[in-house]
Amino acid sequence: MNTPIEILLVEDNPTDLELTLLALQKHKLANKVHVARDGEEALEFLFCRGKFDGRGFDAPPKVVLLDLKLPKVDGLEVLRQLKEDPRTRAVPVVVMTSSNQQRDMVESYKFGVNSYIQKPINFTDFQEIMGQLGYYWLAINQPPPAAAFK
């Protein structure tokens, strides 16, 4: 692959962040991961604002891995804003959360999430799921063409 695989990982829990990065590295699925530690930072990255104002909309992440329980702006609000804006609507979003609340799942799908995964507690299971998830979204799935972002 000539183009770097870009993932936006939105996670505030340091342990979950480290485990996700280790799993992605283990499966050699990403050579460029952007990390946002709260919803506000994720929105700044996605909408090229604040410290990311030099970034362009022409290179969206191939997938956003989004936790729901985030400081500043929660994950559902990040998802809502992402899917409402035509410049970012086509970016695939995978909610990865420890929440098993049906309300979270219903709201996520209502706002346009592409996939909803409850994080397993067991590290081996977590690594396996990350490998499958990464392989599907980064190797098998066809990313949206540029025209989808207009």
CA distance 150 to 148: 6
Is 114 within the bounds of a domain?
yes
pLDDT band, very low/low/confident/very high, at 47 (cuts 50, 70, 90)? very high
Lowest mean pLDDT among 9-18, 27-36, 107-116: 27-36
CA distance 25 to 87: 29
Is 146 within the bounds of a domain?
no
Is 150 within the bounds of a domain?
no
Is 1 within the bounds of a domain?
no
pLDDT of 124: 85
Residue range 15-38: mean pLDDT, rounded: 85
Is 93 within the bounds of a domain?
yes
Is 145 within the bounds of a domain?
no
Domain containing 15: what range?
6-140
pLDDT of 2: 45
Burial class (CB in 10 A: 0-12, 13-18, 19+), 100: exposed
Q: The dihedral of CA 22, 27, 33, 35: what is its sign?
A: negative
Q: Which DSSP state fits 57?
A: T
Is 45 within the bounds of a domain?
yes
pLDDT of 69: 93
pLDDT of 1: 41
What is the number of structural domains in the chain?
1
CATH value at residue 36: 3.40.50.2300
CA distance 132 to 136: 6
pLDDT band, very low/low/confident/very high, at 130 (cuts 50, 70, 90)? confident
What predicted TM-score, i.e. pTM, was given to this entire model? 0.88
Is 81 within the bounds of a domain?
yes
The residue among 120, 138, 148 whose CA lies nearest residue 5 is: 138
Residue-wise pLDDT for 60-86, tens only, equals 898 999 999 999 999 999 999 999 999
pLDDT of 148: 72
Residue-wise pLDDT for 94-121, tens only, equals 999 887 889 999 999 999 999 999 887 7
